[in-house]
Amino acid sequence: MLRSRVSLTSKVILPQLTKTVRRGFVTTTRLYNSQTTDISSNQYANLYQGVKDSKINLNQPLDTFLRRHMGPSPSDTDKMLSTMGFKDLTEFVKSVIPPQILELNPLNLQAPQDGFTEQEMLKHMTQIANKNNYKVKNLIGKGYYGTILPPIIQRNVLESPEWYTSYTPYQPEISQGRLESLLNFQTVISELTGLPIANSSLLDEGTAAGEALLLSFNAHRRKKNKYIIDKRLHEQTKDVLKTRCNPFNIELIEMDCYNLEELTPILENDPQVFGCMVQYPSTDGSIIANETLTRISDLLHAKKNTFTMVADIMALTLLKPPSEFDADIALGSTQRFGVPMGMGGPHAAYFAVTDKLSRKIPGRIVGISKDRLNKPALRLALQTREQHIKRDKATSNICTAQALLANIAANYVVYHGPQGIKNIAKRIYGLTTVLAETIKKGGIHKLTNDSWFDTLTIELNEKYTSEDFLKLAFEKYNVNIFANDSKSVTLSIDETVTTEDIEILTKLFNEGETLEIDFNQIPELPQEVQRTDEFLQQEVFNAHHSETAMLRYLHRLQSRDLSLANSMIPLGSCTMKLNSTVEMMPISWPQFANLHPFQPSEQISGFLELADSLEKDLASITGFDSISLQPNSGAQGEYTGLSVIKKYLDDAGQSHRNICLIPVSAHGTNPASAAMCGLKVVPVACLPNGSLDLVDLNAKAEKHNDSLAAIMITYPSTYGLYEPGVKEAIETVHSHGGQVYLDGANMNAQLGLTSPGFLGADVCHLNLHKTFAIPHGGGGPGVGAIGVRKHLTPFLPTNSIAPPPTATTKSISAVSSATYGNALVLPISYSFIKMLGNKGLPFASIMAMLNANYMRSRLEKYYKILFVNKENGIDHCAHEFIIDLREYKEKHVEAIDIAKRLQDYGFHAPTLAFPVPGTLMVEPTESENLEELDRFVDAMISIKGEIDAFIGGEGKGNVLKNAPHSLEDIVSSTDWETRGYSRELAAYPLPYLKYNKFWPMVTRLDDTYGDMHLICSCPTVEEVSEE
């Protein structure tokens, strides 16, 4: 199976387009282009083709995308420009972006000049998709299995904007639905592993294993440096562990953990060992003996070391749970609970720990707290442990995770119930056993594992090589299996496998002979490995098994949550833009969903063509030479980019360089990622006007001249400003031998207008789940693709099973389990770029800036806008701006009061307290129209009146402190006489709310109570009945 994927040199095949002058293709390259990008209002109007335009042209398609993606129409644009004193978009852009930053060379995208129409896009996508062999039965296994996504969940969760467009549930009052679902996920994990605390997902099995490694390492304050792994871990997990070990000089010792004679001495006597990880069942399919697990655990615990089990979630429904072996950590993937293989991701990894480790668990935990009315309510517990607080002391950089996929997995269990999932597992085991017996009976090949759940490893008859056998399996039986080496193969049975498939496999392993198979006997796992406890007895897992019941349950949950389907979510630094239906559709097509990440490259040429073209487009947009799509979140992109820099420095004999400069305004994941790469973080000051302090930067760069490895800069800055001095800062760092990492979370202000490459950076990450239209999913999935300059290209991450075309002997090892990370969501970004096209894409940034500046200009009459004001001499923000509420603190009005009150007005709050405590950062994106912008501004103006009332001692000001108001509060509370304001004011402060009201499910939550009383799985029936 070890092979390199061939780079596709062929161009994207574009569908037949109507022959108009406007719909041609870019032929010139970007660097030597004498043309400049047309960013005028006139050009916007040309591309927009409004529905109100009565003139049609028979050559002109009527389903163009740009006007569906952008909020402001050309006439609204003119209105907005004129309120700010501009006549044209060109003039506006030139006054917002400093001249030394603006770069108007046309983009060189593999796309029509003004983008595909929606129907052209779907046609094009179908052509690409059909190049993938998605009908072959993928029994490759190795952590990725066929599964059946129940159609009710596909349509009502995966394909429902109410689930996929919501944000991470930081505002719990308007997120109770997905918080309940994530609590269900945690409960499933906690019950199946037997461990009391589970988080609400990590990125994938490999990175979760990386988190376990570092948690174990930190438990001994990094004083011990040897970690044992069983040789039967999946290869991709070993790869990620290797990457994570590097910066800390941790020695990863691969051993046969089944062999206690070999293992015991090292666990007993080597003082440097801090933990051990085994897989259950192992990658070859065998199940490590109970006594061996218990012995390993005892030996580790005798030295206060940590025991981690990577456990298959489906197998855990039948096998004894990790808790029975005193495991400290259990982790794995929940992909096979209904989430398509999707070429390797996105899937939710799980991570569960003992009580002792509850405050050390990475990622987010949903906990139970109570609201103002003492009603139980859910929230993200221990939020203050986030990287924003701990910065470089943080032990994990995980931010965006896999919430949407965790919700799918949780709902899979809700729908099937405990017996349902057990039956699925029993069937898998039964069919595997039947197959094992026929292989043994046939006697041609040798089954090498004597225990299994779903995976069999077979040593081939000497007549065959693995290569021949895989060819035979594919060509004659339409099945893909895995080659371990030249003489042995592995295959895994999954939920989708039928008795007919087993008959086919029997023929494969018996040289075409059909053996008699008895499907009537139901084999059972040996008694000693079977779990005997009852699990998932909570009502939620035993109540929604009919489609009607499930539909209503899903609907009930989604109606408790505010998503983009309700109103704008103006979260600064999060870019909650349209995730269009056309962009989303291909992710549920089997042509993409059924692909296995280790499927031979010739079977996935459509996907590879898409990835190659997306990489080229992103290279053009970033001004870089190469792209890696492997990192599966923004923070992962940071980690990858810095690891690439480190490897480059090592290669250049500069390993001693270990200082990473990071401005104090940086997102918390920046210092956390730097620390995870073994870099020492040195903060750089910012000036009172928000800009980078270049004097401080110079001094720090000078001081660390010999040890400077890198600087991490966010551009436009996390304050939403186009700092004019960024190029100078970059030059300074380069002149001291450092590399420049640009955090591209704010790429939505750069598309076609400037680029990290143009600014002089060496590497950047892009949050495709922000700028490039992948939905936020309520907390993931994400893609943190990185772009690099040529000198860093050889170091981009590889994957030992399926290396990407960029792989070289210098590549860093894998940063996530699959070569293309969260591959299944890549069609979304691909379509976003291709539908806007070379001419349209820059307008995404321009409209984002226009919307932000329009809102800012209206709000500055009522609120202080941080940094963008007359005193600072800064007239415009980039694509986001900060409302400064700190002056009200001494009058006892906090930013959180305004954030909560916005919920009563039907809005999700802007980003609270980042990057400056006591502020709200507003980012409207380009997809919001003038009406929605005004509605938000009007709400904020109305709230200003309430702030004044509170400060002035008027009773009606209390409405801020009690916000948000749930329906229950309005109807049932008995203290209305004493509140000083009416129910009407609480619920309907502005007229539009009478028509369009979103009710928060609960009132304001008690954060402290939630953190002090950590309950993070569903209460059991007994607990409920005791109450």
Ligand X SMILES: Cc1ncc(COP(=O)(O)O)c(C=O)c1O
Nearer to ligand X, 617 or 743 (CB): 743
Bond into 781 cis (ω within 30): yes
Q: Residue 957 carries which DSSP code? A: G
Tokens of 246: 């590097």
Least distance in Å: CB of 509 to ligand X?
A: 44
Least distance in Å: CB of 587 to ligand X?
A: 18
**Footprint of ligand X on 678-717 (CB under 6 A):** 714
Tokens of 802: 């399926």
Nearer to ligand X, 598 or 715 (CB): 715
Which residue in the set 77, 669, 739, 853 belongs to the binding site for ligand X (CB under 6 A)?
Answer: 669
Partners of 739 in the β-ladder: 710
Least distance in Å: CB of 620 to ligand X?
A: 22
Nearer to ligand X, 399 or 644 (CB): 399
Contact letters for ligand X, residues 515-554 (x by CB under 6 A): ----------------------------------------
Q: Which stretch binds ligand X (CB under 6 A): 332-340, 632-640, 700-708, 721-729?
A: 632-640
Closest CA to 48 of 775, 105, 40: 40
Between the CA of residue 642 and those of 602, 792, 795, what are the distances in Å? 33, 11, 11
**Residue 880 engages ligand X in binding (rule: CB under 6 A):** no
Closest CA to 342 of 674, 134, 118, 592: 592
Least distance in Å: CB of 638 to ligand X?
A: 6
Nearer to ligand X, 399 or 554 (CB): 399
- Rounded to the nearest 5 percent, the helix, strand and coil shares of the chain are 45, 10, 45
Tokens of 417: 């119930």
Which residue in the set 90, 432, 566, 767 belongs to the binding site for ligand X (CB under 6 A)?
Answer: 767
Least distance in Å: CB of 222 to ligand X?
A: 24
Which residue in the set 457, 643, 718, 750 belongs to the binding site for ligand X (CB under 6 A)?
Answer: 718
Least distance in Å: CB of 771 to ligand X?
A: 11
User: Got the DSSP string for 459-523?
Assistant: EPPTT--HHHHHHHHHHHH-EE-EESSSSEEEEE--TT--HHHHHHHHHHHTTTPPPP---SS--
d(Cα 196, Cα 189) in Å, to the nearest integer? 9
Number of Cβ within 10 Å of residue 238's Cβ equals 22
Alpha-carbon torsion 681, 687, 692, 694, what sign? negative
Give CA torsion, residues 353, 359, 363, 368, to 10 deg.
Answer: 90
Tokens of 642: 């810095």
Tokens of 573: 């630094």
Q: Which stretch binds ligand X (CB under 6 A): 254-262, 324-332, 633-641, 705-713?
A: 633-641
**Residue 883 engages ligand X in binding (rule: CB under 6 A):** no
| Closest chain position to ligand X (CB) | 634
Least distance in Å: CB of 399 to ligand X?
A: 3
Closest CA to 413 of 352, 516, 334: 334
**Residue 743 engages ligand X in binding (rule: CB under 6 A):** yes
Q: Which stretch binds ligand X (CB under 6 A): 291-299, 630-638, 676-684, 821-829?
A: 630-638
**Residue 779 engages ligand X in binding (rule: CB under 6 A):** no
Nearer to ligand X, 821 or 1000 (CB): 821
Which residue in the set 342, 663, 782, 1010 belongs to the binding site for ligand X (CB under 6 A)?
Answer: 782
d(Cα 164, Cα 782) in Å, to the nearest integer? 12
Contact 817/344 with Cβ under 8 angstroms? yes
Number of Cβ within 10 Å of residue 376's Cβ equals 12
Which residue in the set 667, 704, 856, 956 belongs to the binding site for ligand X (CB under 6 A)?
Answer: 667
Least distance in Å: CB of 590 to ligand X?
A: 28
Which residue in the set 156, 283, 573, 851 belongs to the binding site for ligand X (CB under 6 A)?
Answer: 573
Least distance in Å: CB of 413 to ligand X?
A: 26
Nearer to ligand X, 306 or 714 (CB): 714
Q: Is 970 exposed, middle or buried (0-12, 13-18, 19+ CB in 10 A)?
A: middle
Nearer to ligand X, 234 or 776 (CB): 776
Least distance in Å: CB of 766 to ligand X?
A: 10
Least distance in Å: CB of 784 to ligand X?
A: 6
Please state the separation of Cα 834 from the chain's center in Å: 22
Nearer to ligand X, 743 or 904 (CB): 743
Please report how many Cα atoms fall inside a 13 Å half-sphere around the Cα of residue 75, on the Cβ side: 6
**Residue 90 engages ligand X in binding (rule: CB under 6 A):** no
Least distance in Å: CB of 387 to ligand X?
A: 9
Q: Residue 202 carries which DSSP code? A: B
Nearer to ligand X, 167 or 452 (CB): 167
Least distance in Å: CB of 785 to ligand X?
A: 11
Which residue in the set 306, 633, 739, 857 belongs to the binding site for ligand X (CB under 6 A)?
Answer: 633
**Residue 671 engages ligand X in binding (rule: CB under 6 A):** no
Nearer to ligand X, 604 or 672 (CB): 672
Q: Which stretch binds ligand X (CB under 6 A): 459-467, 486-494, 535-543, 628-636?
A: 628-636
**Residue 784 engages ligand X in binding (rule: CB under 6 A):** yes
Between the CA of residue 279 and those of 333, 353, 756, 764, what are the distances in Å? 12, 16, 42, 35
Query: What's the one-letter identity of residue 880?
Result: E
Least distance in Å: CB of 666 to ligand X?
A: 7
Q: Which stretch binds ligand X (CB under 6 A): 263-271, 431-439, 593-601, 627-635?
A: 627-635
d(Cα 256, Cα 389) in Å, to the nearest integer? 41
Between the CA of residue 593 and those of 65, 158, 606, 823, 826, what are the distances in Å? 25, 12, 13, 10, 12
**Residue 906 engages ligand X in binding (rule: CB under 6 A):** no
Residue ranges in 883-955 assigned as alpha helix (H): 895-904, 930-951
> How many chain residues touch ligand X (CB under 6 A)?
16
**Residue 745 engages ligand X in binding (rule: CB under 6 A):** yes
Indicate the pairing of strand 482-483 with strand 626-628: unpaired
Containing 1010, the helix (H) or strand (E) segment is helix 1007-1012
**Residue 399 engages ligand X in binding (rule: CB under 6 A):** yes
Contacts for 377 with CB less than 8 Å, ≥ 6 apart: 172, 173, 176, 368, 369, 370, 371, 1001, 1002, 1005
Nearer to ligand X, 118 or 762 (CB): 762
Nearer to ligand X, 780 or 803 (CB): 780
Partners of 368 in the β-ladder: 378
**Residue 635 engages ligand X in binding (rule: CB under 6 A):** yes
Nearer to ligand X, 844 or 893 (CB): 844
d(Cα 430, Cα 445) in Å, to the nearest integer? 20
Least distance in Å: CB of 588 to ligand X?
A: 23
Number of Cβ within 10 Å of residue 997's Cβ equals 14
d(Cα 518, Cα 508) in Å, to the nearest integer? 18
Query: What's the one-letter identity of residue 158?
Result: L
Least distance in Å: CB of 47 to ligand X?
A: 29
Nearer to ligand X, 573 or 1017 (CB): 573
Which residue in the set 236, 400, 628, 851 belongs to the binding site for ligand X (CB under 6 A)?
Answer: 400
**Residue 634 engages ligand X in binding (rule: CB under 6 A):** yes
d(Cα 733, Cα 649) in Å, to the nearest integer? 14
Nearer to ligand X, 140 or 828 (CB): 828
Nearer to ligand X, 479 or 824 (CB): 824
Angle separating helix axes 89-96 and 41-48, nearest 10 degrees:
120
Nearer to ligand X, 396 or 626 (CB): 396
Residues that bind ligand X (CB under 6 A): 399-400, 573-574, 633-635, 667, 669, 714, 718, 743, 745, 767, 782, 784
